[in-house]
Amino acid sequence: MKKTKFVFISLEERNGEREYTHNMVREIPASVKDEWDWADKQQAAQFYGGEPEATEDGYYFNGGEVCVSVKGTRVITEAEYKVLSRFL
């Protein structure tokens, strides 16, 4: 049994009137059952560092100026991970 799996993650950052999408790939433990929840807690909540304020919309940083949330996740193959990790 594999010990890890590969996930494509898309985060949305709202900073004032501007919106950005951040795409990434991660190798995560195979035991993770909910990739969205993992991405939410391990990537979005720690995107800027510090202590974010968690809400239904995502995580607010810098006194509410910046919001980061998970836009999407997808389990990918190891081959896809190797290619994407070279570009993201």
Structural domain span for residue 31: 4-84
Tell me: the pLDDT tens digits for 47-83? 998 899 999 999 999 999 999 999 999 999 999 999 9
pTM, 2 dp: 0.92
* Residue-level pLDDT at 49: 85
Cα separation, 82 vs 88, in Å, equals: 10
Residues composing the chain: 88
CA dihedral (62, 63, 65, 71) in degrees, to 10, reads 80
Count of domains for the chain = 1
